[in-house]
Every structure is written in structure tokens, then in C-alpha cells.
Amino acid sequence: MRIVADTNIFVISLTRYSPYHKIYKSLVSNKFELLVSNEIVLEYSETISAKYNKTTAALFSDLLFELPNVIVAEPFYNWNLITADEEDNKFVDCAIAGQADFIVSEDKHFNLLKKIPFPKVEVIGIDKFLILLSK
């Protein structure tokens, strides 16, 4: 299973007290492939630094570049499919470039992708992703 994860997915899964910590543990245990771009890792780092601290952000970023199941998929084309929040396009472009099975997100801006026939990008929520990880 190859995914792109919206930033908030990792923000809420890092702490072991989170009901979503299984996502972080599954990443580290090589249960799925995570597609990232440098722009995505930068956003992860900035957001985790603001939510937790700079050390946690740096450790997580370093981990991403060390794990064998994290694949850097730099987009060479910007599709600009999401207009309501253009910052979300980095996740869509990475998913297309890396041939992701889906994007994991709770962001409603991604719902518009369900109506776009090409390029087809599937989006699932965090609870559905947890169910897939349990199989």
C-alpha cells in the first residue's frame, strides 16, 4: 500500500497516547510505503515544530529519510487541482508523481478530487486507513 499522508495525519499520530499512534508505528514497522516530496517534509517539519518542538520535528524528518519504505517522489508537474487551498496541491502532485494508492486526509478540500476523472486520485480518511492497517 502506497500513500501520501496529509500533515495532520502525522501530527495526531506521533504521541503514543493518540488513538492514531498505530499509523506512526506502522510507518516505522514498514507496513506501508509513504510518498513524500521535499516540500511535504518541510511542511511536516514546520507543523510538528509548532505543535511539539523543533527537536521532535528534526527527529521525525531525519527518520523519514532513513526509512526504506519512505519514497521521495518529487512532482515534475503541478496539476493545481485544488483551488480552495492551493497549499494542498503539493500532496496531490506527489500522489500522482509517485502513483499513490490514495491520500490519507481529513481535510475537506480534498473532497473535490472525487469529482475529477483525470488524473484520478483517491482520498480516504484516517479511520478508514486504520482499518486498512489492521488487515
| DSSP label of 15 | S
What does 85-131 look like in DSSP terms, one character per residue? SGGGHHHHHHHHHTT-SEEE---GGGGGGGG--SS---EE-HHHHHH
CATH of the domain at 30: 3.40.50.1010
Residues making up the chain, counted from first to last: 135
Q: What is the predicted pLDDT for the residue at 75?
A: 96
Q: What is the predicted pLDDT for the residue at 135?
A: 86
- The pLDDT tens digits along the chain (135 residues) read 999 999 999 999 999 999 999 999 999 999 999 999 999 999 999 999 999 999 999 999 999 999 999 999 999 999 999 998 999 999 999 999 999 999 999 999 999 999 999 999 999 999 999 999 998
b/e code 96-123 from CB counts within 10 Å (16+ = b): bbbebbbbbbebebbeebeeeeeeebeb
Q: What is the predicted pLDDT for the residue at 31?
A: 97
CB of 122 within 8 A of CB of 102?
A: yes
- Enumerate residues 6+ apart whose C-beta is below 8 A from 15: 21
pTM value?
Answer: 0.95
Range of the domain at 13: 2-134
CA 85 to chain centre: 16
**What phi and psi values does residue 38 have, to the nearest 5 degrees?**
-60, -35
- Enumerate residues 6+ apart whose C-beta is below 8 A from 64: 34, 36, 41, 44, 70
Number of domains in the chain: 1
